[in-house]
């Protein structure tokens, strides 16, 4: 039987690929897509979710908007990476349908209470704001989750928004701390593994050559990231007055690794680690640190078979229409 999942997301280039892969996976029953502010603002992430599902021919999957801001702080966004629209300028039509007229954490609670306990998982691709609101407002419903697989954190590696912090955790560290301490089984998919699953232009050319309409869109999304990354590196070099050495940009499959963990767990190795989220507004704010005394026990992915993971992603994307 397929596993019922709620995909909580802030699309986002890699979010879009993760959604494509999930929709190509009969192992998953996507009961809803909930949206959160993250890579860009909530209106845009919700609009993007509707566009992406329409592009996939999956308009039957409900979309529910969640939180427009972090629990206890202002927003940070990643438009320089994902583009102002979050999808690198991809020209996708907006369907006539609209998000459901309810709030994401309220919808989650009602859905969890009407389904068998421990039957539904959340695949969290963005900041954990919606999930933390569920935990705080409806702990009775949250306890019925089978688990949460979340992209976030940098445990033994440097962050990507600061030296210490990864974007999803840094965007709402209070929410991450609440979710880690909720008693719900959490699997964290950190930069430690996602940075090892890298698509270059050669891989992207293969995707375009082998796939259909959705694969062509995926190829364009990856190329948008590669161009944006090249532009940022070049601009930084010019600002420093330095000569930028030739390099090969690569697309890290951050959010697709969450879906891969749900459908092919054997691709990854994991450790049970006591993690604490730093919440002190210092330079280490948003860091996920191993702390045997004050940390919460989390399953952390620490190893990945990169070649098999990229092959699995390619196979899923080219299987789509």
pLDDT digits (tens, 9 = 90+) for 46-89: 999 999 999 999 999 999 999 999 999 987 766 667 777 889 88
Q: Is residue 216 part of a domain?
A: no
Take residue 25 and report the two structure tokens written for it.
């996976």
Please report whether residue 85 resides in a domain. yes
Q: Domain for residue 54, yes or no?
A: yes
The answer to whether 88 and 224 are in contact (CB under 8 A) is: yes
Give the three-class secondary structure for 123. Answer: strand
* In-domain check, residue 235: no
Please check whether residue 287 is in contact with residue 176, taking contact to mean a CB–CB distance below 8 angstroms. no
Q: What are phi and psi of 47, to 5 degrees?
A: -60, -40
Query: Does 89 reside within a domain?
Result: yes
Per the residue annotation, which of 54, 55, 82, 254 is the catalytic one? 254
CA–CA distance, 319 with 80 (Å, rounded to integer) = 30
Residue 35 clears pLDDT 90, i.e. is over it: yes
Say if residues 77 and 42 touch (Cβ distance below 8 Å).
no
The tens digit of pLDDT for each residue in 182-229 reads 999 999 999 999 999 999 999 999 999 999 999 999 999 999 999 988
Task: Provide the H-helix boundaries in the chain.
Answer: 13-23, 42-55, 79-82, 104-114, 129-137, 139-142, 167-171, 173-180, 191-194, 201-210, 213-240, 254-263, 306-319
- Over residues 1-26, mean pLDDT: 97
Q: What is the CATH number of the domain that holds 63?
A: 3.90.245.10
Q: Is the pLDDT of residue 242 over 70?
A: no
Residue 112 lies in a domain: yes
What are phi and psi for residue 300, nearest 5 degrees? Answer: -115, 125
Total count of domains within the chain: 1
Task: Write out the residue range of the structural domain in which residue 104 sits.
Answer: 3-197+250-305
In a domain, 18, yes or no: yes
pLDDT digits (tens, 9 = 90+) for 133-160: 999 999 999 999 999 999 999 999 999 9
Give tens-digit pLDDT for 100-122.
Answer: 999 999 999 999 999 999 999 99
Is 254 catalytic? The answer is: yes
**Inside any domain, residue 187:** yes
Using the 8-state DSSP alphabet, how is residue 165 labeled? Answer: B
Is residue 182 packed enough to be buried (19+ CB in 10 Å), middle (13-18) or exposed (0-12)?
buried
Q: Using 50, 70 and 90 to split pLDDT, how confident is the model at 238?
A: low
């Amino acid at each position: 039987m397929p596993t019922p999942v709620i995909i909580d997301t802030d699309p986002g280039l890699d979010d879009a690929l993760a959604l494509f892969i999930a929709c190509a996976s009969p192992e998953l029953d996507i009961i809803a897509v909930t949206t959160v502010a993250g890579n860009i603002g909530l209106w845009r992430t919700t609009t993007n979710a509707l566009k992406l599902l329409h592009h996939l021919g999956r308009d039957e999957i409900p979309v529910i908007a969640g939180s427009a801001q972090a629990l206890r702080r202002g927003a940070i966004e990643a438009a320089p990476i994902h583009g102002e629209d979050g999808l690198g300028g991809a020209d996708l039509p907006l369907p006539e349908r609209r998000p459901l007229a309810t709030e994401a954490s309220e919808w989650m609670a009602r859905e969890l209470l009407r389904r068998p306990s421990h039957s539904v998982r959340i695949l969290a691709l963005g900041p954990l704001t919606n999930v933390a609101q569920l935990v705080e407002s409806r702990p009775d419903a949250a306890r019925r989750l089978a688990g949460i697989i979340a992209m976030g954190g940098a445990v033994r590696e440097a962050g990507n928004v600061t030296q210490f912090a990864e974007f999803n955790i840094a965007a709402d560290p209070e929410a991450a701390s609440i979710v880690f301490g909720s008693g719900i089984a959490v699997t964290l998919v950190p930069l430690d593994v996602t940075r090892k699953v890298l698509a270059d232009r050669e891989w992207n050319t293969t995707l375009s050559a082998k796939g259909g309409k959705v694969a062509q869109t995926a190829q364009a999304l990856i190329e948008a990231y590669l161009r944006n990354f090249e532009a940022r590196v070049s601009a930084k070099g010019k600002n420093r007055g330095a000569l930028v050495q030739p390099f090969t940009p690569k697309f890290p499959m951050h959010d697709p690794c969450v879906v891969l963990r749900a459908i092919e767990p054997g691709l990854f190795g994991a450790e049970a680690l006591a993690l604490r989220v730093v919440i002190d507004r210092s330079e280490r704010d948003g860091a996920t640190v191993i702390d045997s005394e004050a940390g919460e026990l989390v399953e952390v992915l620490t190893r990945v078979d990169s070649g098999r993971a990229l092959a699995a992603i390619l196979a899923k994307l080219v299987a789509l229409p």
